[in-house]
């Protein structure tokens, strides 16, 4: 819960109504000088102005909900099987252990659940940290054709594999293979049920077919985009020949209820598995489910096929498109093995060619680790459709943003299985190296979410399935809140790559109006009190409970900023992001032959080192810093129990921690050394000759400040808020732990400064080598020990912590190993 709170920023309050939003058009009145007419029409005017007033209110309320007027970069048909057949089907449901859907608003979905019938049976379906799996994740996944996943449950392992085969007009066929094996091959077989399901999402239909013994033999179906199709269940292998079948055909009200439907259809009933020997074994089997009556026809049809057998086993499920007429053989058995082998080989080859890890001295196990990290980034890509809930100054109640599709990677399949704006910029740095087409697609989807003002909602909670994972109070997005424009990082990398040519130019022509509006939105709504200064809006206003009010919009949630939020603040990280954005925009103008002098000017001003020093160099701290109304002397103290008079009784409220200010704040630099101080270096705004650079490198290497044997910590040990809780429930988040996205930027900057001539070149180069070795060694060690990549790493022990698996930006370790910056 506390983590939820961090990223969502639902508890934020709106910034004061100082927004630089264009003012609504003022009513124009031409008052006729003829007094008689004036009298006659005066009553009309009253009515008119009332009308005008409500019109203005209405248009102000509609404004944030109005999408950007320029044509979408990706028209709705672009995801269709006709235009993009190879990406139509995919593992686009990262929130479940194994499932597939199409890139359609209301896709037919397929998925897997399983349940071990020994011990206390527990159903596995959506990725949950509380399931306590020793590990799960993609070992290989190329983002397009196939995937191989390993899931280690308690006492046994499942491999879930899929492979697609193009053919016909509706995205082709695919097959699944699930192999189960006991951890200890000599132990007696464990009874496991696999449950394969297929569900419609308010569109399309399914028809189950039975064989002579009353078992489900196959399912046929149709949907708008899939046409006709058949799902087959070939005879399983293994299981000692003792196989039991059950099925359920029902409806449910939305995909997010599938787990509950299965659970409640099984809980009431024990059935008996008749084994060949006459022994009987009890197990949970699907029985019946009576859907609660619900008005409206918006329901999912659901068919579930349950297979119960002893380990080890191997079971397949086949999806065949009716439009695929020249199918050589079914994609099953040997044919499936061959196809999987082919894709494995291709991926290994492409991986080798792209990243060349063997040449860089990595052993096969490390290469496999790296390949898994990439595969989890790609296998974590999802396709979502729905509306964000937003609020604005003119919409005091939450309102629905226009429904939109989003094809994106996600930070974490268990904890954050949805799109986050600034995470995606980092994700795309890796995805673009592997398959630029996927990166262009995601980038386009994100920019197409922009509204007419240039705002993109920061966290994308689209559709009921996504929304069911997020507590209601955290769902709402405020239209004044930004998030770092990391998409510019990704865009620059994409444009610099050798083969960007045609795809890049086509994209830029379509995207240009949006990029301009996006840039302007930042430049006009997040500007600071002085020229060329910037300030994150939407900081927490609660100065009583929080040791330091959070700045979720910056992405660095609880990183210490000015103790007393005010309009006087200026944030050095945002200023550096704007320098980057200006530079990329200027480059784009050049590529398109547009006038980019405005951006060039801004870039020059924002990268002017003496202006930077003047605005952000804190001499006493010896580092770059934010500026604002600030005091160092704040502490959390336990308040005295207070009597609270309720309606009928008097209770004593439990004493909580409240903030006590020991010394009044004043306008000054914020004394915190950490990731924010590094930004002029991270985004390479600092001149290689700057004496500040030498200073910064010393702090970076100082173990009493930022250096650890596992990576660069987020906040210096010497800072007063180092590892301090923000409230009694909020663990330190960006106040010490090591984050991989920032370490990637540190390495990238060291690599760069290590190559340009200057007084600090050698120092940068040697720090680069040392940090790279540390970071890779620790992530690899943690992965081997714990089975996962993590959200962050402990700066004292290197242990992975926070949520897991976190194969969003922590997967940038691939680029670090490959030295791709």
Ligand X SMILES: *[C@@H]1O[C@H](CO)[C@@H](O)[C@H](O)[C@H]1NC(C)=O
Binding region for ligand X (CB under 6 A): 189, 240-242, 275-277, 279, 310, 523, 564, 566, 568, 598-599, 602, 629, 665, 667
Burial class of 726 by CB neighbour count within 10 A (0 to 12, 13 to 18, 19+)? buried
Q: What is the distance between the alpha carbons of residues 266 and 260, in angstroms, rounded to a whole number?
A: 10
Q: Which is nearer to ligand X, 602 or 684 (CB)?
A: 602
Three-class SS of residue 763?
helix
Q: Which is nearer to ligand X, 154 or 600 (CB)?
A: 600
Q: What is the distance between the alpha carbons of residues 310 and 190, in angstroms, rounded to a whole number?
A: 5
Q: Which is nearer to ligand X, 363 or 667 (CB)?
A: 667
Largest CA distance in the chain: 107
Q: What is the distance between the alpha carbons of residues 696 and 281, in angstroms, rounded to a whole number?
A: 67
Could you identify the residue written with the tokens 């179906």? 221
- The 3-state secondary structure of 216-255, one letter per residue: EEEEEEEECCCEEEEEECCCCEEHHHCEEEEEEEEEECCH
Q: Which is nearer to ligand X, 322 or 568 (CB)?
A: 568
Q: Which is nearer to ligand X, 192 or 712 (CB)?
A: 192
The catalytic residues are 557, 791
Q: Which is nearer to ligand X, 216 or 273 (CB)?
A: 273
Contacting residues for 257 by C-beta, under 8 A, at least 6 apart = none
> Contact 600/584 with Cβ under 8 angstroms?
no
Rounded to 5°, the CA angle 235-258-295 comes to 130
Three-class SS of residue 392?
strand
Strands (E), 482-535: none
Rounded to the nearest 10 degrees, how much is the dihedral formed by the CA atoms of 619, 622, 626, 631?
A: -70
How many other C-beta atoms can be found within 10 angstroms of the C-beta atom of residue 401? 21
Shortest CA distance to 130 belongs to which of 811, 803, 730?
Answer: 803
Q: Which is nearer to ligand X, 78 or 533 (CB)?
A: 533
Contacting residues for 65 by C-beta, under 8 A, at least 6 apart = 390, 399, 400, 401, 402, 451
Name the residue whose CB lies closest to ligand X: 276
Q: Which is nearer to ligand X, 381 or 562 (CB)?
A: 562
CA count, 13 A, side-chain hemisphere, 215 = 14
Q: Which is nearer to ligand X, 442 or 523 (CB)?
A: 523
How many other C-beta atoms can be found within 10 angstroms of the C-beta atom of residue 563? 22
CA count, 13 A, side-chain hemisphere, 185 = 1
Q: Which is nearer to ligand X, 300 or 603 (CB)?
A: 603
Minimum CB–partner distance for residue 485 and ligand X (Å): 13
Q: What is the distance between the alpha carbons of residues 278 and 388, in angstroms, rounded to a whole number?
A: 56
Shortest CA distance to 786 belongs to which of 809, 802, 771?
Answer: 802
Query: Tokens for 136?
Result: 């799960």
How many other C-beta atoms can be found within 10 angstroms of the C-beta atom of residue 345? 10
Give Cα 123 distance to the centre of its chain.
26
Phi, psi of 195 (to 5 degrees): -120, 110
Minimum CB–partner distance for residue 270 and ligand X (Å): 17
> Contact 123/410 with Cβ under 8 angstroms?
no
Q: Which is nearer to ligand X, 343 or 564 (CB)?
A: 564
Three-class SS of residue 381?
coil
Minimum CB–partner distance for residue 188 and ligand X (Å): 7
Query: Tokens for 368?
Result: 């496999």
Q: What is the distance between the alpha carbons of residues 148 and 136, in angstroms, rounded to a whole number?
A: 11
> Contact 639/658 with Cβ under 8 angstroms?
yes
Shortest CA distance to 465 belongs to which of 7, 88, 96, 90?
Answer: 96
Q: Which is nearer to ligand X, 616 or 630 (CB)?
A: 630
Contacting residues for 753 by C-beta, under 8 A, at least 6 apart = 681, 684, 688, 693, 760, 761, 764
> Contact 343/142 with Cβ under 8 angstroms?
yes
Task: Give the single-character DSSP code of 185.
Answer: T
> Contact 607/680 with Cβ under 8 angstroms?
no
Shortest CA distance to 320 belongs to which of 207, 454, 523, 171?
Answer: 171
């Amino acid at each position: 819960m506390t983590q939820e709170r961090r990223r969502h920023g639902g508890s934020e309050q709106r910034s004061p109504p100082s927004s630089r939003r264009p003012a609504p058009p003022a009513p124009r009145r031409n008052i006729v000088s003829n007094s008689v007419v004036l009298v006659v029409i005066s009553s009309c005017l009253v009515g008119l102005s009332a009308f005008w007033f409500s019109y203005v209110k209405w248009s102000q309320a509609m404004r944030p909900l109005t999408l950007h007027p320029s044509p979408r970069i990706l028209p709705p048909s672009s995801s269709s099987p006709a235009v993009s057949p190879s990406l139509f089907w995919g593992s686009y449901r990262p929130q479940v252990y194994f499932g597939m859907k199409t890139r359609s608003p209301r896709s037919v979905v397929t998925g897997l659940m399983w349940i071990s019938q020994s011990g206390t049976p527990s159903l596995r379906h959506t990725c949950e940290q509380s399931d306590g799996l020793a590990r799960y994740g993609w070992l290989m996944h190329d983002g397009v054709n196939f995937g191989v996943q390993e899931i280690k449950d308690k006492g046994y392992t499942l491999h879930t594999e899929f492979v697609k085969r193009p053919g016909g007009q509706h995205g082709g066929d695919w097959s699944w293979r699930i192999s189960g094996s006991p951890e200890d091959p000599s132990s007696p077989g464990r009874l496991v049920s696999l449950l394969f399901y297929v569900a419609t999402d308010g569109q399309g239909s399914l028809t189950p077919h039975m064989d002579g013994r009353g078992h489900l033999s196959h399912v046929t179906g149709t949907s708008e985009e899939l046409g006709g199709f058949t799902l087959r269940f070939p005879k399983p292998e293994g299981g000692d020949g003792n196989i039991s079948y059950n099925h359920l055909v029902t409806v449910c009200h939305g995909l997010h209820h599938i787990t509950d439907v299965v659970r409640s259809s099984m809980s009431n009933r024990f059935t008996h598995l008749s084994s060949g020997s006459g022994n009987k074994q009890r197990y949970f089997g699907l029985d019946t489910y009576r859907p609660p009556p619900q008005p409206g026809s918006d329901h999912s049809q659901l068919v579930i096929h349950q297979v119960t057998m002893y380990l080890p086993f191997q079971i397949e499920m086949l999806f065949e498109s009716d439009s695929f007429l020249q199918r050589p053989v079914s994609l099953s058995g040997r044919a499936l093995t061959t196809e999987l082998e082919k894709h494995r080989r291709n991926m290994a080859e492409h991986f080798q060619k792209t990243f060349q890890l063997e040449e860089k001295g990595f052993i096969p196990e490390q290469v496999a680790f790296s390949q898994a990290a990439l595969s989890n980034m790609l296998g974590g890509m999802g396709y979502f459709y729905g509306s964000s809930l937003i609020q604005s100054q003119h919409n005091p109640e939450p309102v629905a943003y226009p429904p939109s599709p989003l094809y994106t990677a996600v930070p974490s399949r268990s904890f954050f299985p949805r799109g986050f704006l600034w995470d995606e910029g980092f994700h795309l740095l890796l995805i673009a190296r592997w398959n630029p087409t996927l990166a262009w697609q995601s980038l386009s989807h994100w920019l197409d979410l922009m509204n007419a003002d240039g705002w993109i909602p920061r966290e994308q909670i689209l559709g009921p399935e996504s929304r069911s994972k997020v507590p209601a109070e955290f769902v709402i997005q405020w239209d004044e809140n930004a998030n770092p424009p990391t998409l510019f990082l990704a865009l620059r990398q994409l444009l610099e790559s050798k083969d960007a040519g045609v795809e890049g130019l086509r994209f830029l022509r379509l995207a240009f109006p949006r990029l301009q509006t996006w840039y302007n939105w930042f430049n006009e709504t997040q500007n600071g009190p002085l020229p060329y200064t910037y300030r994150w809006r939407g900081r927490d206003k609660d100065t009583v409970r929080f040791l330091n009010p959070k700045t979720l919009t910056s992405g660095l949630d609880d990183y210490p900023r000015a103790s007393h939020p005010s309009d006087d603040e200026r944030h050095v990280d945002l200023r550096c992001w704007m320098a980057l954005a200006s530079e990329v925009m200027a480059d784009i103008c050049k590529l398109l032959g547009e006038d980019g002098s405005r951006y060039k000017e801004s870039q020059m001003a924002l990268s002017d080192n003496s202006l930077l020093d003047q605005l952000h160099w804190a001499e006493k701290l010896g580092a770059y810093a934010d500026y604002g109304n600030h005091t160092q002397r704040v502490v959390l103290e336990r308040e005295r129990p207070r009597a609270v008079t309720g309606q009928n009784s008097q209770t004593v409220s439990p004493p909580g921690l409240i903030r006590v200010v020991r010394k009044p704040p004043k306008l000054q630099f914020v004394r915190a050394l950490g990731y924010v101080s590094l930004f002029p270096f991270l985004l390479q705004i600092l001149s290689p000759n700057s004496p500040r650079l030498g200073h910064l490198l010393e702090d970076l290497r100082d173990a009493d400040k930022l250096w650890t044997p596992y990576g660069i910590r987020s906040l210096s040990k010497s800072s007063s808020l180092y590892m301090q809780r923000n409230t009694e429930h909020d663990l330190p988040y960006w106040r010490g732990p090591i984050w991989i996205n920032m370490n990637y930027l540190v390495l990238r900057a060291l690599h760069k400064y290590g190559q340009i001539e200057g007084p600090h070149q050698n120092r940068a180069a040697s720090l680069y080598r040392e940090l790279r070795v540390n970071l890779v060694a620790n992530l690899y060690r943690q992965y081997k020990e714990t089975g996962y990549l993590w959200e962050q790493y402990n700066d004292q022990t290197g242990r992975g912590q926070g949520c897991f698996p976190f194969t969003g930006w922590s997967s940038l370790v691939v680029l670090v190993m490959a030295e791709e910056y």
